[in-house]
Amino acid sequence: MERKTSETEKHDNTQQYTIKDYPKELNKKVTLLQHFKSYLEGGTDVNTIYPSTTTGTVYVKKWMRTKHAMMFRLSNKIVQVNFQDHTEIILSSEARVVT
């Protein structure tokens, strides 16, 4: 998925591609994504993010790794934290829910 934004617009305009079929200019991003996927599958339990029927495809906008946890900010404004001991916390400001 490629995210496009303009200076005047604050919403994301996305295009979807498969991991096998994407434009050549996205090769560097796809390679990074494959390395990231390999790292996550190598021992960290991370919930699979599925498309939402009401808000479009949900994707990771920002992420950060510390020695204790992986944190993800998703496009639907949910924050997910996966701790090293495999516990997780999910924060939803819109629904005002902590899971």
| Domain spans, the chain | 1-43, 47-99
pLDDT at residue 81, rounded to an integer = 94
90 vs 17 pLDDT, higher one: 90
Classify each residue of 74-96 as buried b or exposed e, where b means 16 or more C-beta atoms within 10 Å of its C-beta: bbbebebbbeeeeeeeeeeeeee
pLDDT in tens, 13-53: 778 888 888 899 988 888 888 877 777 666 544 444 444 44
